[in-house]
Amino acid sequence: MKKIFLLILLVLFVLSCSLNRKSEETNINELIYSLQDILFETYDADQETTQVKNPIDPFLWYRTKSSEDTIKYDIGIDVVGDSAYATIKMIFPGDLNLWYIGDSDTVHIEKPYVDTFIKYCFFKKDTTRDYHNGWRLVKITNTFVKTKNPSDVNIDSIKIFADGVFDTLIKIDTSYFVKNDIVKIPSGTVVQITLFSSDTTSRFFAHTALKKKEIVYSSENTFTQNLRVPYIKKNYRLLIDGFTKGSLEDDSIEYSTFGIILPYTVE
């Protein structure tokens, strides 16, 4: 009888732990959705561009969300005591719109694609219980976007420089940083972007505030571009990405990209 009683206690203990874990994961999941502006990052659709000189290139291209499919989220949470790790994946179906001149006529084609955005988060349970049962977001990573795994596009690292403001090298890894430790840039500052890559089969771009500029080849394994940040003071995102040349320059080769999203604040 005593053994049966102990067995019942053990089962109840295991069940309570399981329910507690589910409760913790639910609280963290709700916290994640309450911080969508920080954690659910994507590129800006309908981006402006300028006409390119090479007539075989599209004179206009941009990405739009698919009108037929919806964005899906996949959030994985691993609770370890008073700490928790989360992987946020956003599945983004879209269309790459290409406009070019063919036989003296303007041609518009759409290339459907599905990009995956990935971000990693770290949480601690050390605040008041009335705030998501004590959980708070502590650290995050930059957001990565890719079409394929492994990617067809390679970026080794990115250097961002603004004279007298900052000089930072960003590695393409999952390094965590404090969620409030976001780069602050004075209004209208011109920043220099240097991208390092041995990839000779891709084209690279910088996107922010609905505008984009191509990061152009300057020397071996090095691509550069200057970009002026907006004058309006608020939070922004800088997307630096690469496309296989066939994505933009061939009407039959499928779309493929890889990039990183960097948050910043204009002050």
Domain count, the chain: 1
Amino acid in the structure at residue 155 = I
| pLDDT computed for residue 181 by the predictor | 86
| pLDDT computed for residue 105 by the predictor | 87
| pLDDT computed for residue 57 by the predictor | 75
Q: What pTM was computed for the model?
A: 0.84
| pLDDT computed for residue 36 by the predictor | 87
Could you list the residue range(s) of the whole structural domain that residue 83 is in? 2-266
pLDDT tens-place values along the chain, 267 residues long: 555 544 454 444 444 555 455 688 999 999 999 998 888 888 765 455 544 444 347 889 999 999 889 999 999 999 999 999 999 999 999 999 999 988 778 989 999 999 999 999 999 999 888 899 999 999 999 999 999 988 999 999 999 999 989 899 999 988 899 988 888 999 999 999 999 999 999 999 999 988 899 999 999 999 999 999 999 999 999 999 999 999 999 888 899 999 999 999 999
Amino acid in the structure at residue 163 = D
Contact 62, 99 (CB under 8 A): no
Distances from the Cα of 40 to the Cαs of 78, 88, 110, 161, 205, in angstroms?
A: 19, 8, 25, 26, 21
| pLDDT computed for residue 42 by the predictor | 80
| pLDDT computed for residue 55 by the predictor | 38
Q: What is the 3-state secondary structure (H, E, C) of the chain?
A: CHHHHHHHHHHHHHHHHHHHHHHHHHHHHHHHHHCHHHHCCCCCCCCCCCCCCCCCCCCEEEEEECCCCCCEEEEEEEEECCEEEEEEEEEEEEEEEEEEEECCEEEEEEEEEEEEEEEEEEEEECCCCCCHHHEEEEEECCEEEECCCCCCCCCCEEEEEECCCEEEEEECCCCCEECCCCEEECCCCEEEEEEECCCCCEEEEEEECCEEEEEEEEECCEEEEEEECCCCCCEEEEEEEEEEHHHHHCCCCCCCEEEEEEEEEEC
